[in-house]
Structure 1
Amino acid sequence: MNKSVIATATVLAIGLATSAYAKGATGTIASIDKKGDSFTLSDGKTFALPENIEVETLKVGEKVTVTYSTKAGKMEASAVQPAQ
């Protein structure tokens, strides 16, 4: 029983640590780079898009909430949703 408690605690700790690296930002899309698969918010933050998010679904002037992580100094979006 002790082993299962330790295993469960380890899995929870890893899950919480992983989610701690995800960050969020809300803003208005100022520009879209279709060739570079990225977009920039009006505050100057630029986010690269993964293959599962199509740049064509975004529109300049749209207010969005971005979930992202930073990899090699680059902000990479994992989700982009309309802001409320």
Structure 2
Amino acid sequence: MRALLASLTILSAISLSSAAFAASTATGNIRDYNPQAMTLTLKNGTKFLLPGGFKDPGLKVGQRVAVTYQTMGDKRRATMVTPLVP
């Protein structure tokens, strides 16, 4: 019985920790893109931190994009930014 309970506890801990790092996606138009500060803000005010080594695919203010990100604390860390066709 203890082995079963221990196994269930470990399994639930793994499930919860992987859910905490699940990626989300947001779409919208760019309000501000600052390559020096490594930030991207959508018109709805959602702000993303871009990863080190981010390669700019030609982002421009007003352009529609999809941002894949992870939430860590109160910050949204982008893992991928994809320009969308209008």
TM-score (norm 1): 0.69
Query: Cα RMSD over matched residues?
Result: 2.4
Distance 1:43 1:21, change over 3 A: same
Higher helix share: 1
Q: Looking at CA atoms only, which structure, 1 or 2, has the larger radius of gyration? A: 2
Percent identity over the alignment is 34
The answer as to whether partners of 2:32 and 2:42 remain within 8 angstroms in 1 is yes
| SS of match in other structure, 2:26 | strand
**1:6 corresponding residue in structure 2:** none
Give the match for residue 72 of structure 1. 73
AA aligned to 1:21 is: A
Moved over 2 A (4+): 54-57
The CA deviation at 1:28 is 0.3
CA contact (8 A) 1:65 1:80 kept: yes
Greater CA drift, 26-35 or 37-46: 26-35
1:25/1:65 contact within 8 Å kept = yes
- Partner in structure 2 of residue 25 of structure 1: 26
Show CA shifts across 1:23-59 (max 9, x none).
0000000011233100100010000000132357321
Provide the rounded CA distance (Å) in 1 between the counterparts of 2:47 and 2:26. 11
